[in-house]
Structure 1
Amino acid sequence: MRLRETATLFVIRSLHKWLGLILGLQVLLWAGSGAFMALLDSSAVSGEAAILPVAQIPAPAAPLPLASVAERVGAPILRLQLKPLFDTYVYEATTPDAVVLLDAVNGRRIVIDAAKARALAVARYSGDAPVRSVRRIAQPTPETRDAPLPVWRVEFADKDRSTLLVSEANGEVVGVRTDTWRLWDIAWMLHIMDYGQRQTFNHPLVVTAAAAATWLALTGLILLIRSFRR
């Protein structure tokens, strides 16, 4: 009986040692990335300092009648909203196939192209740095994974590489990215072990690593108790 117990402890000790070597780096990454994210200023991560609130402008005294809006949209309207967009008011009409923007006064259709996205981003940007680049993003990237695509990525030439994501559908700023956010995102990726989309911690790799770390802790506790008994 004692021989069997000794053999079991030997197996546990060997597995504990080798698994500890394998998991040691990941445990360090978990601890280091968690500490790094906790130390970062949350407001700097969110980029809230780089963006101004939506400008409050007077609503038009005589907006386009709803019948004219429906006629110009030319499709069933599921949702209709009158809202400010930079220096004017627009109707945002959601149809089964798309979102249509109309000038609330003259009914002219508004398209969010590169020039318009640039103007909208500059209007919301709180700094004075010039625009470095404007790019249309139609496929998910680490920066745009939470944004409704497609978006216009408008990057400014400031020290934090502030980037505003402007929706191509309705012209709204749907995200702000900075170098502080990018550092946080790398730490987040390492912490949740999602090296692709960086969105979920419910995937097999992290579940397996967490289960192995739990087993490592339990076997370490068993070996510790056994050493005290000796």
Structure 2
Amino acid sequence: MAADLGLSPPPQKEEKRMKRIRFTPLFFRRVHKWVGLVLGIQFLLWSLSGAMMAFVDMEDVRAQPPVFSHPIVAEGLLDPDQLGLGKLAGSIRLHMSDGRPIYEIAENGVVRLLDGRSGDAIVVDEALIRQRAGLIDGAPVRSVSLLDAANLEAREFDGPMWRVDFNDAENTSAYFSADTGQFLVARGDGWRLWDFFWMLHNMDYMNRTSFNHPLIIAVAFGVLFLSGTGFYLLFKSFNRRDFKWLKRTSPMKSKPPLTSAG
């Protein structure tokens, strides 16, 4: 009857009440143990990845196919005023490529290529990329693909680009700008191996760019927490009985000498 009137809660509801977290030394010891395990595993990954990065041959990491530069041939070159460009909002650049002078025109964020002799527009297509790829690597071309955006191998560049895969010992991939056809960078298996361990080392599993990202900041706070709880548990794990051996025992009192009677 009392339970029906709401005078006292049922026993089952009493058992289901949320227990309050008690910040006791046992609680901190358990959290300290698991945080230490996670950080210990990460420390092993740091050590292993750093050692492997040191063992990878840096010549393979920095290896780039040669890029040939040619002097500009002025014979038959059209003056920029003859191209009918009008008032340019950007810039104009002249360079040699494929044995011909090419005007690279940046206007309102759009890049165009014009033949320096005829003024005809140059389209950066697969045929042009294959021709330029043959100038920087003597290996046969395995495949050519157009990327809408940079992948992890060419992450320091922006915009769409062409990827050319070569059939060589390093499985080299060269990247060219989709706007200008300019060679950007080349990556091989040596660089890919180094980049994998670099990812493990800086814990940037998405972008692989730097050490400044939320995950490693969280690990830094975990190390701070581990240090604080360890310092706290240092005082909670000892008592006076553990240091009894440090106390000096008092010297034994000397007994008075025995005297003979009479």
TM-score normalised by the shorter chain: which range applies?
0.7 to 0.9
Write the distance in 2 (CA, Å) between the matches of 1:58 and 1:139: 31
Q: In 2 relative to 1, CA 23–38 (structure 1 residues): closer, same or farther, beyond 3 Å?
A: same
Q: In 2 relative to 1, CA 177–75 (structure 1 residues): closer, same or farther, beyond 3 Å?
A: farther
Query: Residue 197 of structure 1: CA displacement?
Result: 2.3
Write the distance in 2 (CA, Å) between the matches of 1:194 and 1:35: 18
Write the distance in 1 (CA, Å) between the matches of 2:169 and 2:232: 52
**SS in structure 2 opposite 1:208?**
helix
User: What does 1:29-48 align with in structure 2 at a 5 Å threshold?
Assistant: 29-48=45-64
User: What does 1:1-230 align with in structure 2 at a 5 Å threshold?
Assistant: 8=25, 13-48=29-64, 51-69=65-83, 71=84, 73=85, 76-125=88-137, 128-216=138-226
Write the distance in 2 (CA, Å) between the matches of 1:86 and 1:17: 64
Write the distance in 1 (CA, Å) between the matches of 2:233 and 2:208: 36
**SS in structure 2 opposite 1:166?**
strand
Identity of aligned residues (%): 36
**SS in structure 1 opposite 2:152?**
coil
Q: Larger % of helix: which?
A: 1
Q: Is the Cα–Cα contact under 8 Å of residues 165 and 175 in structure 1 kept in the other structure?
A: yes
Amino acid aligned to 1:132:
R
Q: Deviations over 1:111-152 (max 9, x none)?
A: 111111111111112xx3210100001133212322222111
After superposing on structure 2, the runs of 4+ consecutive aligned residues of structure 1 that deviate more than 4 Å are 10-13, 217-227
Deviates more, 1:57-66 or 1:132-141: 57-66
Q: Is the Cα–Cα contact under 8 Å of residues 165 and 173 in structure 1 kept in the other structure?
A: yes
Query: What is the TM-score normalised by the length of structure 2?
Result: 0.72
Q: In 2 relative to 1, CA 222–158 (structure 1 residues): closer, same or farther, beyond 3 Å?
A: farther
Q: Deviations over 1:84-111 (max 9, x none)?
A: 2232221111111311111111112111
Amino acid aligned to 1:133:
S
Write the distance in 2 (CA, Å) between the matches of 1:133 and 1:152: 10
Query: Residue 44 of structure 1: CA displacement?
Result: 1.4
Query: Residue 31 of structure 1: CA displacement?
Result: 1.7
Write the distance in 1 (CA, Å) between the matches of 2:60 and 2:231: 41
Partner of 1:3: none
Write the distance in 2 (CA, Å) between the matches of 1:113 and 1:197: 29
**SS in structure 1 opposite 2:153?**
coil
Query: What is the TM-score normalised by the length of structure 1?
Result: 0.82
Write the distance in 1 (CA, Å) between the matches of 2:214 and 2:128: 43
Write the distance in 2 (CA, Å) between the matches of 1:89 and 1:22: 59
Deviates more, 1:215-224 or 1:31-40: 215-224
Largest Rg, 1 or 2: 2
Q: Is the Cα–Cα contact under 8 Å of residues 46 and 176 in structure 1 kept in the other structure?
A: no
**SS in structure 1 opposite 2:184?**
strand
Query: Residue 194 of structure 1: CA displacement?
Result: 2.0
Q: Is the Cα–Cα contact under 8 Å of residues 57 and 84 in structure 1 kept in the other structure?
A: yes
Unaligned stretches of 5+ in structure 1? 1-6
Whose relative contact order is higher, 1 or 2, with alpha carbons under 8 Å and at least 6 apart? Answer: 1
Write the distance in 2 (CA, Å) between the matches of 1:45 and 1:189: 15
Amino acid aligned to 1:190:
L
